[in-house]
Structure 1
C-alpha cells in the first residue's frame, strides 16, 4: 500500500470535504456512508475494495474511525497536504459550532436547574446508552469478551481515574492475546468482517481490485509511529516540568485521542476524567456540551473544541479550543500516516487482531462505567428527567430518529417542562 503518486490537489480535497463537514449528520457510521457515496460512487476516487480496506484499517487503529478514513482518503488523493485539507474541511464546521455553543453557554450562565440544560443532560444519557448497546453487540459478544468488558467496568467504577481507564484498556489488550486467539476465538469477528466487506464490495469489479495504494512511503512511516509514541510519553513529563494550561490541555487531549478504541463515544470517559476530574470544567457544562455535540454535523471529537474553549489558554477561549482540537486529533493523523503502508501485513497478524479485540471489549466496559457516572448520575435527577431520557432513548433505538433531532427535542422539552 505504498509508492503511488498523488493524483489530485489539496484544494480539490478541501472542497469535497467541506461540503461533507457542513452536512454529515448522524455519527461515524453515517459518515462512512457519506464518504462512500461521495468518493467511490460519485467521484470515483477509489474502488469499493480499496475503500473497504481503508475502513478496515481505521477500525483497527485507535481514534475516531470516520475522521481517520477521511484523512486516509485525503492522503491517498493528494499526499500529506491532502490529508491536512480533508481533516480541516471535515472538522472545521462542527468545531466552530461547538466553540460558539461554549461561548454562548458561558454568556447565558445557566444555573444547574436551567430547563434546556437538564434536557441536554437527559439526552446525553440516551445517546450514550444507545451507543453502548451497539458497541456491546459488536465488540463484547460471547463469554470471553463479555467477561473482559465486565472486568473493565468494575475496575473503572471502583478505581475512578485516568490511570484505571488506561490500565483497563491495556489489560484488555493483553488478555485478548491470551483469550481471543485461535480459530474459535475470532470466528465471530471474522464472519462480521466478511459480512462488512460483502456489504461494501457489492460488485464483481470490487473483488478484483488491488488494495489501496497511498502516497505515504514505508521509509517515512516509522517516523510517524515514533512521533506518536514520543508525544504520548513526553507530553506528561513536559506538563509536569513546565506547568501551563496549554501543555496540560495538550497532554490530556492527546492521551484521550491516542487511547480511544471503539468509536467517538469512548472519548467521553477519558475527557471527563481529564477536565472534570481536574476541576477545569464542571459536570453540568461537560454533559451539556456532549449533548450538543450530537446535534452538529461532522466528527464527535470536535467536543474537544467545546471543552478547550471552556479552559482558555492565555485568556483566549479560541486558543484553548485550538490546542484541545489539535491535540485530540494528532494521534489519529500520525497513526494513519504511519500504519497505512503496513496495513496488509498488520491485518494478517493474528496477535494484533486478538489484542485489538481485547481492547475493544475493555472499552465497552469503560464506556459502561461512564454511562453510570457521570452521565446517568448527572442526567437523571428527577422523574421528569428520567422520562425525557427514556423518550430520547426510544426515539434513537426504536424509531431510528437522528441524534441531532433527538437532542434538539430533548433540549426543547427541558425548556418547556423542567
Structure 2
C-alpha cells in the first residue's frame, strides 16, 4: 500500500463527522485556504494520509468540475471511513455555513456597521496567513528540487497572467507534461496504490448517473413544469459546469436565479456578502438562494434541494475518477506526471496567495502586520487555526470600530 507507517485510514464515520464539523466551523477564507486547513488538521496533525498522497488528491480535484476543496474533504472522508465517512465529511464541513446562511435568508438580517465590517476584513487576513502557511509547507514537500520548483514558478506565472479557472486547469496539465520530462529521475519504485474503496463498476455507475442527470433533468423539468425540478436542474447544472469552485460559480448562479426572477438582485448581493462571513465552502451560498426563492419550494426545503443539487455533480465525477486514477498513478510515467502536477499545484497556491487573497485583504500596513502575526502563530507557534481565526477576526473588529 502507498502508506507510511505514520498514516492511517482506519476510522469511523463519527470520528470523521467530528473532525469535519470542527473544520466546518473554523475554515474561513475560500477553497485555497480550506486546503490549508485540511492539510494542517488531517495531514500534518492527524496523519490520515501522507503529503504526497494529499498533493495527488488536490491535483485530481483541481482537474474536475465542482467545488475542489469539498471534493478533497469528501475524498478524505471516503479514505478514512468509507462511503459513510465521505457523507459525514460533507455534512460536517457543509452544514455549519449552510445553516447560518439559511438563517440569514429567513431573517433577512444583514451584517452592517464598522465592527461587523472589521470582523469580515479580519477573516480575509486570516486567509492570507493560512494560504501562506499552505504554500510554505507544500512547497517544501512537493517542490523540493530545481525541476519541480521551476514547474511551480512557471505555473504561478501562467495563472497570474491567464486569469480564471481555465488557467489553473492548463497550468496543472502543463505541469503534468513537464513532470513526464523533468521528474523521471525522482520516480520511486511502485509500491502499491492509494486505494479508495471504490470499484471500477461503481466508478462507471457514478459517471453514468452524472451524465444522465445532466441531460435528463432539463427534459423532465420541461415536461413536468415542477418548480422543484427546475431548481434542482439549475443548481445541478451550475455545479457541473464550473472548474475550481468558489467565486467562479457566482456568475452561473446569478444567471440561473436572478435572471430567471427566482431571487432579487438585492437579495443575491446581500447573501453573497453574508457568505463571506461564514466558514466552510462558498457553494453553500446555494442554500441561501434556495431558501430565498420567490416560488415554492423555498425556505428550508428549497435550501436542501439547492444544496444537494450543486454538490452532487462534483462528487459523482470524483467517485467516477477515483478507481481509474488509482490504477494509473502507480505506473512510473504516471508518478512523474503527478509530481509535475503537484508542483504546479504549489504554483497555483502561490498565485492565489497574491490574487485574490492578498490583494483583497492587505490594504494598509496594519493588515500586513496582522497577516504576518497569524503566519508566525501558525508556523512557529503551531497555534490551532481556529485560535488564529478568533484573534484576527477580533483584531479586525476592534480596528473597524475604532476607525
**TM-score bucket of the superposed structures, by smaller chain:** 0.5 to 0.7
CA distance in structure 1 between the aligned counterparts of 2:167 and 2:362, rounded to whole angstroms: 29
1:176 corresponds to = 176
For the 8 Å contact 2:286–2:310, the answer to whether it is kept is no
CA distance in structure 2 between the aligned counterparts of 1:116 and 1:348, rounded to whole angstroms: 46
CA distance in structure 2 between the aligned counterparts of 1:70 and 1:98, rounded to whole angstroms: 19
Alpha-carbon deviation of 1:406?
Answer: 0.5
CA distance in structure 2 between the aligned counterparts of 1:379 and 1:56, rounded to whole angstroms: 26
Secondary structure of 1:366's aligned partner: helix
Alpha-carbon deviation of 1:181?
Answer: 2.5
Q: Does 1:67 align with 2:74?
A: yes
2:289 corresponds to = 311
2:265 corresponds to = none
1:275 corresponds to = 250
Aligned match for 1:331, one of 295, 314, 320? 314
Q: How many residues align?
A: 342
Relative to the length of structure 1, the TM-score reads 0.63
CA distance in structure 1 between the aligned counterparts of 2:248 and 2:376, rounded to whole angstroms: 29
1:7 corresponds to = none
Q: C-alpha offsets along residues 171-199 of structure 1, whole Å, 9 cap, x if unaligned?
A: 5324523x3226x61454649x98xxxxx
Aligned match for 1:416, one of 395, 398, 402? 398
CA distance in structure 2 between the aligned counterparts of 1:232 and 1:151, rounded to whole angstroms: 38
Task: Show structure 2 runs of 5+ residues with no match.
Answer: 2-10, 28-36, 62-67, 255-267
Q: 1:413 to 1:21 in 2, by over 3 A?
A: same
Alpha-carbon deviation of 1:401?
Answer: 0.9
1:398 corresponds to = 380
2:42 corresponds to = 31
Q: C-alpha offsets along residues 342-401 of structure 1, whole Å, 9 cap, x if unaligned?
A: 566322223333343333333333333332232222212223322222211221122111
Secondary structure of 1:311's aligned partner: helix
Task: Show structure 1 runs of 5+ residues with no match.
Answer: 2-11, 38-47, 76-82, 195-209, 260-266, 294-299
Aligned-pair Cα RMSD in Å? 4.6
2:89 corresponds to = 90
Aligned match for 1:136, one of 109, 126, 139? 139
1:250 corresponds to = 236
Relative to the length of structure 2, the TM-score reads 0.65
Q: 1:215 to 1:221 in 2, by over 3 A?
A: same
For 1:6-405, what aligned pairs fall within 5 Å after superposition?
14-23=13-22, 27-29=37-39, 30-31=41-42, 58=57, 61-62=60-61, 63=68, 64-75=71-82, 83=83, 85-102=84-101, 103-104=103-104, 107-110=109-112, 114-161=117-164, 165-177=165-177, 179-181=178-180, 185-188=183-186, 190=188, 216-227=198-209, 230=211, 247=233, 249-255=235-241, 267=244, 270-275=245-250, 285=273, 288-289=276-277, 292-293=278-279, 302-305=281-284, 307-312=285-290, 314-315=293-294, 316=298, 318=300, 319-320=302-303, 323-324=306-307, 327-328=310-311, 330-336=313-319, 339-340=322-323, 342=324, 345-405=327-387
CA distance in structure 1 between the aligned counterparts of 2:371 and 2:194, rounded to whole angstroms: 43
